[in-house]
Structure 1
Amino acid sequence: MMPRHVFIVVTHLLGVGHFARMAALGRALAQAGTRVTLVSGGRVNATIETGGLALVQLPAVHCRNGDFSRLLDDSGEVMRPETLAERTRLLLEAYEQAEPDCVITELYPFGRRALAGEFEALLARIAARRPRPLLLCSIRDVLNPPAKPGRAESVLNRLAAYDGVLVHGDDTLPLDRSWPVTPDLARQIHYAGYLRDATRDAAEAVPETARSGILVSGGGSDAGLALAEAALSAAMLLNDEPWHILVSHAIAAERLAAMQASAPAHVTVEPARRDFPALLARCRVSVSQAGYNTMLDLAAAGPRAVLVPFAAGQEREQTLRAEAIAARGLARIVRETELTGETLANAIRSLGAEAAPDWSGIRLDGAERAVATIRGLALSHEANEAAWAGLDALLEAMAEAGDRVDLWLRDDDVVAVTPALERFLAQLARHAIPAGLAAIPARLEPGLAERFAAEPLAHHLLVHGHRHQNHAPAGQRAAEFGAHREAGVIAAELADSLSLLRDAFGARALPVFVPPWNRIDEGVARRLPALGYAGLSTFAERREAGDPPGFVQANCHWDPIDWKGTRGLKSPAKLIAELAALIATERAKPAEARRPIGLLTHHLVHDGWMEAFLERLFTRLANAPAIRFRTAEAVFAP
């Protein structure tokens, strides 16, 4: 299914590339039958087609010289706080009026940090709406690499609120060339192809023999002024064919007039034109920066090309893209630091004897692919929201009937006080959920015992093997306590493990064994009571082994991690449905036959998306009258 109404938020600060790309995406969505609201926070630009879209213009902001931290208003003054507040008000007002079921933020949170206030206000509104809209981030093929330590991690944490990241590119230039792509980020990335507005194509293909002249374009901001001036100088050196120099509308009229007055007869200087793609298709050589949309225009038109990537400040985006294009033999590069009339003229001369480049390796079907990607993500999101609604309905029905089912939580692989453990414990504290924490006795690190000595919540420590070491023969499933080991060695490790845990945690340590990988030989399991253990916890169904009185087996039945696939969060819709089925099955039993349902987590491998999912789940369960979380001590009581 397609979203009913897509709400796109974009602010272009220098050129118009960001706005042009989102306008193209909006038109593609509109052509697929979706209503689209496009909110623009940058300066108005008449060269971008927005027909068929509901355009909302915020008080415009821009910047100069690549200084994205210094926001300027239309008059060129530093934007005042009250104007930023008005932008936020208008953005939220537009969101409430649109009532979208899909929101796309362009670049944020990877960029636009200076506008974080308005984006965060929008994200808060999205999180509060039921059902929550699908939330996507849209980025181009190349990002500016994080300039400060911790910035990539900060972005990753904020992305946990999102349902996916649309990358408008492909393997021509993978995202990891410019941004750290961790496994958890990789699971959220959807390469949607290069997104180009098909309406920008030339009216007809121009054969190579009919091409002539040199076309210079400096982008949509005044950052291209140096390129235009260097082109004028180069034109003095190459006067055997016509030159056409297009300058940004952001360049002052007086400066444009001065350039026009100094241009020789074979050079035309004028403001950027909407028919730029048609001009590009007819030229012999293109001289331009290396912005996203410019590259796609080049790929569509196919001229010889000289690229002068914008590189002011800490900008690396265009340089990385230009290098990738040049590596394919499609263009020459002139660095901004080396830009003069002479270097530009030399680069153009070097193209003279070469065959026309073949740009066909860069696919331009990103509009269709992006629409298909959004359609698929919307379908998954709808299934997720329906599953949440189903769980809510079950819990409400149980509460009305006075039914209650017990749950307990087990978290494995505790060895040290880590940021991941602290985040998990803080999450449990927010919802007053006690846990049985399976700790690895022979690998406990200093400080862990002290951490739990001061813990107010009723967490208990369980024995998670000895060293969590695989002793299974090659080719067999991993196990630490399988039948392949000597019985005396196993008995000694089991006894030592329980002693280590009790010494470290005192009364918080329970004589409950949690075998690594949830695997234990039946013969080993039968010896546990004699070694001082009062309980066993694995996964799925209970053993029926005739254990002695007082020995309790309480397993886990639900695990949100896709261990055999992505090692990230499983399908939320399936997870929620599985949990609802477990609750319904237990509810159907006589009260005296019900046993606690075990939820299994592994805090060390939780990424932001896992934490966000668990937060949403714990909020429901902890506040549901039909659910009671039991302590591990209560679960394993004889």
Structure 2
Amino acid sequence: MRILVAVTHLLGAGHLTRAAALARAFAAAGHETVLVSGGMPSPLVRPGGARLVQLPPVRSAGFDFGRLVGKDGNPADTALLAARQSALLDALERARPDVVVSELFPFGRRILADEFMALVTAARARPESPLILASVRDILVPPDRPAKVADAHARIAALYDAVLVHGDPAFMPLGASWPVDAALAPALRYTGYVDEGDPVRPARHREGILVAAGSSSAGLGLFRAAIGAARRRPDLGWRLLVGHGVPEAELADLSKGLAPGTVMRARPDYRALMAQSAVSVSQCGYNTAVDLLATGTPAVLVPFEAGRETEQRLRAEGLAALGLARILGEAELSPEALIAAVHDAARPPGGGAAQRTIALDGSARTVDIVEEMVASRRPRPRPDPVAGLRDALDRAAARGRRMPVWWRDDDAVAATPALDRLLALAKGAPLLIAAITGRTESSLRERLTDAPGVSLAVHGLAHANHAPPGDKAAEFGPHRPLAAQRDDAARALALARERLALPGLLPVFVPPWNRVSDDLARALPGLGYRGLSAAGGPAIDGLVRADAPWDVIDWRGTRSLRDPGALLATAIAHAEGESAVPLGLLTHHLAHDEAVWDFLERLIPLLAAHPAVRFHDPRDLFGGTVDVRARQPISPLHERPRAV
């Protein structure tokens, strides 16, 4: 097989360490493996037989995981993020993988969602769609908002084949930290813990205290307390391993006044040192916990808890409950408290039997699981990408709520197979088709004659961009004289009467690219228009507004389906709210690829049939149609303009 594993660690190197262990296991089993790393390079991480691709690196700004910085410490700008995404997609193209693994995403790394989604959607769109898997540790950060859960679950349902959980459910099921519902549970594949270290034999005689706190500066508080303890009780034999993320000057400062060899850089033989130590003092990251399970070393655990982190505390409590460790909270940390905890931990632990039953064969088992999935792969059952919205609508129906929606499709010019597919999908559901009247062919009118549920709007004159270089595209933006805009808008409506003389023609202006200058918008009623659908703007007397912001296409990125999690989150919020403003769905039938069509083929039937949805007819929204025999619309309008 060809395997691609994508990982970005933002603080410590634990995520990269685990991903590298998996990559080595795949490579050792004879599979061509690429490990794509987007975090800072780590000197202790070994790719083994896997090929390492390093993206332009980023890290978190301290404990603020909502801000990224580059290797120079400056904020990660759009150019850096674009370069990362380009390199990631290039790695995908070169690898041509049978399996793509995204580490932590979509359950985490939301700040890098654009690049992970670009990878996954590009992989799914390949002619031979690879197996797509998420890889997560035993414990996840509990979400602070239900929308985050909905996003992750929607992405798994729409794009992923399974979730590799690198833990043992008998010790720590994923549901202990993350809401595992009936839809997610069947996708979970527990692998056991990924044991990154080499086998070691515990020493017959253990001595000394080994202190370590990962590869970043997050453990400096623990190190300072340990230094104070070493000065008070040097007879206990302290060894402090400081991560490579701690600057050299700070390392020298930590070493002052201590015996040579007390403070040193983190070493690749950490597990062997742990196996020889009387007590291990550390935080409780994933890899450290595995080292403790493998060596059986008595431990004092000081779980990292800054920035809403609960993962290490939960894991430490699980180990303590088995009698494998003692917990010292960060808030209680001091040299005296640490010395007392070390004495307490040195007593014989009581969890040896439980320790031996926890599965530590996660690397080999991961390879087995993936090999089995690829070997037995059949056409993948089509997931339900709108399951979360269906559930929200069911809840809305139960409380008597009806979610208002309407649908607009842009850029029609002629009868095409894509238009046929659009109309077949609509099946008579109310649909406003915005036609580029200056380019309209007679076949469009012929195809839409007697098409049920279809209304027509004026989509500008020629869909021509008149904006200067560097500005956002616009045909009717503020860059042109108002007189020229008025002339084109009037000409567009006249051509609509001439070329699209159908009962469903509405005096509604839909500017290309959804952009229109305020001056032209105010002039539209005088030109015969009675409706406007764009990207927001002021209320205007004599003009009914109904915009369509729910665009399914990712125009600024893949130009394929927008992130389905974000799309569904918008609709779910609308379903669960109380707004009477219809949510405007926007499609572009000529630009749809299979990913977009597939999503719409699930979404439209749900919206059209669900009792909690009120599917608005554009004729009702905008108040009347055009009399193609006259210069002005004659159908009655509301006396007072309204915004929709």
TM-score of the superposition, structure 2-length normalised?
A: 0.60
- The equivalences for 1:613-624 within 5 A come to 615=598
Q: Which secondary structure does the structure 2 equivalent of 1:324 belong to? A: helix
Correspondence for 2:172 = 173
Q: Distance in 2 between matches of 1:424 and 1:615?
A: 20
| Contact 1:126 1:133 (8 Å CA) reproduced | yes
Aligned to 1:162: 160
Aligned counterparts of 1:169 and 1:430: Cα–Cα separation in 2:
46
Alignment of structure 1 residues 128-207 onto 2, 5 Å? 128-160=125-157, 161-171=159-169, 172-198=171-197, 200-202=198-200, 204-207=201-204
What SS class does the counterpart of residue 354 from structure 1 fall into?
A: coil
Distance 1:329 1:416 in 2: 45
SS in 2 for 1:49: coil
2:246 is aligned with 1:237: no
1:330 aligns with 2:324: yes
**Does residue 7 of the first structure (1) align with residue 32 of the second (2)?**
no
Query: Which residue among 327, 344, 354 is the counterpart of 2:338?
Result: 344
Establish whether residue 67 from structure 1 lines up as the match of residue 58 from structure 2: no
Report SS of the residue matched to 2:19.
helix
Assess, with a 3 A threshold, how the Cα gap between structure 1 residues 156 and 206 changes in structure 2: closer, same or farther.
same
| Pairs within 5 Å for 1:32-43 | 32-43=29-40
Check conservation: 1:431, 1:618, Cα contact below 8 A.
no
C-alpha distance in 2 between matches for 1:613 and 1:182: 26
Give the match's secondary structure for 2:60: coil
Q: 1:249 aligns with which of 244, 254, 266?
A: 244
Cα deviations by residue, 1:402-431 (Å, 9 ceiling, x for unpaired): xxxxxxxxx9xx9896599989999x9967
* Aligned twin of 1:286: 280
1:149 Cα shift? Answer: 3.3
**Structure 1 pair 190–425 and aligned structure 2 pair: CA distance change class (3 A):** farther
Which of 48, 51, 54 in structure 2 is aligned with 1:54?
51
Task: Decide whether aligned partners of structure 1 residues 250 and 417 sit closer, same or farther in structure 2, where only a CA change above 3 A counts.
Answer: closer
Structure 1 unaligned residues grouped into runs of 5+: 389-410, 438-454, 458-611, 623-638
Give the root-mean-square deviation of aligned CA atoms: 3.3
Report the CA distance shift for 1:112/1:278 in structure 2 as closer, same or farther (over 3 A).
same
8 Å CA contact 1:65, 1:313 repeated in 2? no
Q: Could you say which residue in structure 1 is the equivalent of 2:310?
A: 316
Indicate conservation of the 8 Å contact 1:302/1:357, yes or no: no
For residues 333-386 of structure 1, give each alpha carbon's deviation from its aligned partner in whole angstroms, at most 9, with x where no partner exists. 011121111111111111233347523132211112111111222234x3216x
Query: 1:6 aligns to what SS in structure 2?
Result: strand
Name the SS for the 1:295 alignment partner.
helix
Distance in structure 2 (CA, Å) of the matches to 1:235 and 1:16 = 27
Aligned to 2:371: 375
**3-state SS of 1:62 partner:** strand
Aligned partners of 1:261 and 1:66: how far apart in 2?
A: 27
Residue 63 of structure 1 aligns to a residue whose secondary structure is strand
Alignment of 1:84 onto 2:81: yes
The aligned amino acid for 1:335 is G
| Structure 2: distance between partners of 1:194 and 1:128 | 32
With over 3 angstroms needed to count, the CA separation of the structure-2 counterparts of 1:613 and 1:280, relative to structure 1, is farther
Deviations, residues 199-234 of structure 1 (Å, cap 9, x unaligned): x233x4422xx1110000011111011111110112
CA distance in structure 1 between the partners assigned to 2:145 and 2:337 by the alignment? 34
SS in 2 for 1:14: coil
SS at structure 1 position matched to 2:42: coil
Aligned position for 1:432? 424
Query: 1:415–1:224: structure 2 CA closer, same or farther, 3 Å change rule?
Result: closer
1:105–1:136 Cα contact (<8 Å) kept: yes
**Is 1:144–1:178's contact at 8 Å kept on the other side of the alignment?**
yes
CA distance in 2: counterparts of 1:307 and 1:415, whole angstroms: 46
C-alpha distance 346-430 of structure 1, shift in aligned 2 (>3 A):
farther
Could you tell me which of 299, 305, 314 is aligned with 2:299? Answer: 305
> Letter of the aligned partner of 2:310 in structure 1?
R
What is the letter of the counterpart of residue 187 of structure 1? P
Aligned partners of 2:292, 2:75: CA distance in 1, in Å?
36
Q: Which residue of 2 aligns with 1:271?
A: 265
Conservation of the 8 A alpha-carbon contact between 2:301 and 2:316: yes
Inter-partner Cα distance in structure 2 for 1:153 and 1:347: 42
Say how many residue pairs are matched: 417
Give the Cα–Cα distance (whole angstroms) in 2 for the partners of residues 434 and 78 of structure 1.
46
8 Å contact kept, 1:43–1:60: yes
Equivalent residues of 1:7, 1:38 under 8 A apart:
yes
Q: 1:429 to 1:275 in 2, by over 3 A?
A: same
Q: CA deviation at 1:434?
A: 7.0
Q: Please give the secondary structure, in 2, of the residue aligned with 1:136.
A: strand
Matched, 1:95 2:106: no
| Aligned equivalents of 2:374, 2:267: Cα separation in 1 | 37
Percent of pairs with identical residues:
42
Aligned-pair distance for 1:615? 3.2
| Structure 1 counterpart of 2:356, one-letter code | S
1:277 and 1:297 in contact (8 A); partners too: yes
State the secondary structure of the residue aligned to 1:42: coil
Q: Amino acid of the residue matched to residue 163 of structure 1?
A: D
Please, which runs of 5 or more residues in structure 2 have no aligned partner? 383-389, 408-419, 430-451, 455-594, 606-644
**What TM-score do you get using the length of structure 1 for normalisation?**
0.61
Q: CA deviation at 1:277?
A: 0.8
